[in-house]
Amino acid sequence: MVYINTKGAEMNFVDRLNECSDFSCVFELVKAAVEVTMNRRRVGLMLGLTDLPNYIGAFHQIGSNFIVMNKRLLKEVMRSDNRKLINAYIFHVLLHEYIHSLGYLEEQKTQLLTQAISEKVLGSEHPATLIARYGISSVFSNINRLEHYEPQEIRDIEIIEDFERDNLNYFG
């Protein structure tokens, strides 16, 4: 799927996503996907990783500039050693939480938007779209076999450096 970005250049989301090798690259595509489909954008977000219950892929606390991703699930996904699938998972999780950060608080609406945007920019059979439509186990069957984990509190959040490259520079 090819789109024209805000700078007038063509953008193939699938090819670009397959080439990503870090969170920042995937997140740039998430923001571009939202911008071309919803005409919405925000900057100033940070990413952290920590161990969360198995049923939580990530969360964004209302009013914050922080997305926290489940480190345990991410490690399990990374065991596939398939960059395309890993990037699809990361795209899905970051897109969902980015939509929340734009003020969409209702979970069902956010899930539907995540699916619609994924399908529009990546296609209906892309792994990120399948995760949005059917859940993570539709692409990663091993996730259902994860040992149950329920932390008492969230702690030891690992901050991902240089996550968002579009941060505003107030000092010019």
Question: Does residue 110 sit within a domain?
Answer: yes
Q: In this structure, what CATH number is given to the domain that contains residue 68? A: 3.40.390
Determine the Cα–Cα distance for residues 95 and 78; give it in Å rounded to an integer.
Answer: 18
For residue 137, what is the DSSP state? G
Question: Does residue 77 sit within a domain?
Answer: yes
Burial of 46 (0-12, 13-18, 19+ CB in 10 A): middle
Mind listing the pLDDT tens digit of every residue in the chain (172 residues)?
555 554 545 579 999 999 999 999 999 999 999 999 999 999 999 999 999 888 889 999 888 999 999 998 999 999 999 999 999 999 999 999 999 999 999 999 999 999 999 999 999 999 999 999 999 999 998 776 655 666 666 778 898 988 987 654 444 3
Question: Does residue 172 sit within a domain?
Answer: no
Cα dist from 94 to 8, 66, 102, 145, 147, whole Å = 25, 11, 12, 23, 24
Q: How many domains does the chain have?
A: 1
Question: Does residue 165 sit within a domain?
Answer: no
Question: Does residue 13 sit within a domain?
Answer: yes
* Residue found under tokens 């069902």: 108
Question: Does residue 124 sit within a domain?
Answer: yes
Which range of residues forms the domain containing residue 120? 2-159
Question: Does residue 87 sit within a domain?
Answer: yes
Question: Does residue 168 sit within a domain?
Answer: no
